[in-house]
Chain A
Amino acid sequence: MEFLEKNAIYIVMIIVLIVWVGVFLYLWNLDKRIKNIEKEIGEKK
């Protein structure tokens, strides 16, 4: 904890990582859902 208080930049880094993981998971899910719709429409690209 003391280490983090002295080096606040690591907190920034952790927050950025969490945000990026969130964005990535969102995109991943979206990709899967769109692929399902693609299959339902019966179109292969």
Chain B
Amino acid sequence: MIWKIFLFLLLCFVSVAGISFPIVDNPQAWYEFPFIKGLEENAKIIFFHVPTAWLTVIAFFMTAIYSFKYLRKKNLDDDAKSYAAAQLGIIFCILATVTGAVWAKFAWGSFWSWDPRQTSIFALLLIYGAWFALRSSIESEEKRATLSSVYAIIAFVTVPFFIFILPRIMTGLHPGSADDTNAGPVIDFKMNSNMQLIFFLSLIGFTILYFWMWRLGYKSLIYRDKLNKQLLLRG
């Protein structure tokens, strides 16, 4: 109960601080953000865009973990958990793609430029899409759970390749990428300490939010299945 109120206040604080704190050349007071060359006012997106991308990855990871668990124990609850994680994953994936694209329009001049990060989030979007397409094509519950678990694991093993390949093929524009001179690794040193603090608070807040939503998602799925089975037994 208390953690929900804590989460509410935390994200309220993050959105007030993240949006309204001014960006100045020489931050003195605790509520001032530093001026980062090449990013300027656009830098504020870090409090909202990065957590969505982070949650996309977390959700993908959890889908794979619960798929693995399902294959070992054959417990349909695990399938519901991985399904709920993937549902949230695709929502946050779309949010990260859209917020990133809007930001890119103002920072790089075009909505889409096949930057390594953009390409990898696009690949994740494709995987989620394919995963849901596979699930919707199978009627039987157990079959659907097994096949989608197998596919999730195969997809999970191939994704790390993107991290190695893409930077070799295309040049990075994204803040924090290797050969990016004008707006170096933002997370490391261009943010001052209060900006970092709010960034990590935002990450924590969004992660708690994700776990809350995930729990609601899988519980509703599991109870629906249970009620369906009870109705079937009675009827």
A residues within 8 Å of B by Cβ?
9-10, 12-13, 16-17, 20, 24, 27-28, 30-31, 34, 37-38, 41
Contacts and interface: CB of A to CB of B under 8 A. Distances in A.
A9 B225 CA distance: 46
Given A24-B8, A27-B216, A34 B223 contact: yes
B20 A17 contact: no
Nearest to A12: B19
B15 A13 contact: yes
B216 A37 contact: no
Contacts of B20: 9-10, 13
Given A20-B11, A27-B216, 9 more contacts: A9-B19, A10-B20, A13-B20, A17-B16, A28-B4, A34-B223, A38-B219, A38-B223, A41-B223
Contact of A34 (B8, B12, B219, B227): B219
Q: Could you say which interface size class chain B belongs to?
A: 10 to 19
A34 B216 contact: yes
A24 B58 CA distance: 21
A13 B226 contact: no
The 9 closest A-B pairs by CB, nearest first: A13-B19, A16-B15, A13-B20, A34-B219, A24-B8, A30-B216, A37-B223, A20-B11, A12-B19
B220 interface: yes
Contacts of A27: 212-213, 216
Interface in B211-235: 212-213, 216, 219-220, 223, 226-227
